[in-house]
Amino acid sequence: MKHIIWLGAGLLVAIAIPFVVGGGEMFSRLGSFPFALLLGMFGMIIMCWCLNALRLRLLLGESCSAVSVPRSLGAVMAAEFAYCATPGGSGGPLTLMAVLSRNGVGPAKSSAVFATDQLSDLLFFLLALIGILFYALFNHLSEHMEGMLMVSGGLVVGGLCLCAGFARYHRQVIKFNGRLLNRLNTRPETRRRWTRKLLHFRNALADTLKMPRKRLAGVFLLTCMHWGLRYSVLYLALRGLGVDVEWVWSFLIQMLSLSAGQFSLLPGGAGAAELTSAALLAPMVGKSTAAAAILIWRAVTYYFYLVVGGPVFLLMVGRPLLNKLMRMREA
């Protein structure tokens, strides 16, 4: 129960930040926001879930026959809820593995599917940043924007280097993991079990990446569609508030804000994402407009995930896994 209270307290703080930043003027900005546009933004998130469910089925390959289409959609929604409700999003892959294992998909396969999914995401962000870089070459940038672009590029390139490093030096990683566990005085059975998990994961990831090129291309296309929709929410929120901000800068603001939320190790980046986005957006559009846009953006891309995904999570994996994920904060 205390973990739910802790999460609720974090959400209250996150919601309070836009009100503190925007003050009383924020309410008039929110009152003028088109309701039809807000409903359309929620519809975009539902479409994102459907796109991710299709992506999951493509990554499962022959194993997708064991997971029905509704269960694929439920797995995505449950995993997104766990990602938003746990520190650093650590519950997302565990939830996905739990749902898939109940449908006959092994942990090595499910973890490899998740890793391939993340690699596809990183590739999208890398290509998006390259496109933004070319855009920036032909447009005047302030020092503020240049700094945003450099930090974003560093984060994506760093993530890809880590993935490539594991693929290239997996033997050294496994040996290092064994030495680390040995120094922690773990039992030999535990060390062997972790070694087997890493080997199974590496082999399953290699098999997943050997899928037909057309299928991998389909996965990447769905990835682009998903992130294109999701990262258009802040842009549409600003447009609905009567502010004309270029999409590329709203993209960078969201990317940096969500990255800051990840590093904060708070559930869904609650608080950290709001503070970072307010610091980046307020100089461009003003405090009241920035606060209103942030509140709308987080309501659509974070609170909506919790409200709608929570019941799906409980239905598919139950309260025991939820309690386990919430206890991860104490580990």
| Per-residue pLDDT tens digits for 285-316 | 888 899 999 999 999 999 999 999 989 988 88
pLDDT value at position 307? 92
Most confident of 174-183, 256-265, 290-299: 290-299
pLDDT score at 156: 63
Q: Is the pLDDT of residue 54 over 90?
A: yes
Q: Which of 28-37, 161-170, 244-253 has the highest mean pLDDT?
A: 28-37
Q: What is the pLDDT of residue 203?
A: 67
Task: Tell me the pLDDT band of 117, cut-offs 50, 70 and 90.
Answer: confident
| Predicted local confidence at residue 151, as pLDDT | 65
- 28 Cβ contact partners less than 8 Å away, ≥ 6 residues apart: 288
**Separation CA 235–CA 300 (nearest Å):** 12
Q: What pLDDT is recorded for position 73?
A: 93
By C-alpha distance, which of 37, 10, 17 is closest to 232?
37
Q: 51 vs 45, 65, 124, 304, CA distance in Å?
A: 10, 18, 15, 17
DSSP structure string for 227-262: HHHHTTHHHHHHHHTT----HHHHHHHHHHHHHHHH
Q: Is the pLDDT of residue 55 over 70?
A: yes
Highest-scoring range by mean pLDDT, 1-10, 114-123, 151-160: 114-123
d(CA 112, CA 202): 8
Residues in the chain: 331
Say what the pLDDT of residue 305 is: 93
Q: Name which of 41-50, 180-189, 216-225, 285-294 the model is least confident about.
A: 180-189
Res. 329: pLDDT tops 50? no
> Rounded to 5 degrees, what are φ and ψ at 116?
-65, -40
Please give the pLDDT value at position 330. 45
d(CA 189, CA 114): 26
Do 219 and 124 touch, CB atoms closer than 8 A? no
- From 30-34, 111-115, 263-267, the region with the lowest mean pLDDT: 263-267
Predicted confidence band at 38 (pLDDT cuts at 50, 70, 90)?
Answer: very high
Longest dimension (CA), the chain: 64
Question: How much is the pLDDT for 331?
Answer: 44
pLDDT for position 226: 95
Residue 118 has pLDDT above 70, yes or no: yes
Task: Return the percentage of the chain with pLDDT > 70, whole number.
Answer: 71
pLDDT at 149: 63
Q: Which amino acid is at 38?
A: L
Confirm if 13 and 273 have CB atoms less than 8 A apart.
no
pLDDT value of residue 285: 87
| Residue 15 burial (10 A CB sphere; 0-12, 13-18, 19+) | middle
Is residue 91 within 8 A of residue 83, CB to CB? The reply is yes
Q: What is the pLDDT of residue 173?
A: 64
Alpha carbon separation from 95 to 48, 98, 155 (Å, rounded)? 18, 5, 25
**Which residues form the domain of 299?**
2-330
Which tokens hold the place of 124? 């999208």
Burial of 156 (0-12, 13-18, 19+ CB in 10 A): buried
| Gyration radius of the chain's alpha carbons | 21
Confidence (pLDDT) at 299: 93
The predicted-structure confidence for 124-148, as pLDDT tens digits, reads as follows 888 887 787 777 777 665 555 566 5
Per-residue pLDDT band for 36 (boundaries 50, 70, 90) equals very high
Question: CB-hemisphere CA count at 13 Å for 266?
Answer: 22
pTM score, two decimals? 0.81
pLDDT at 302: 92
Task: Please report the pLDDT score of residue 271 as a whole number.
Answer: 78
Query: How far apart, in whole angstroms, are the C-alpha atoms of residue 148 and residue 172?
Result: 34
Strand partners, 87: 267
Counting the structural domains of the chain, the total is 1
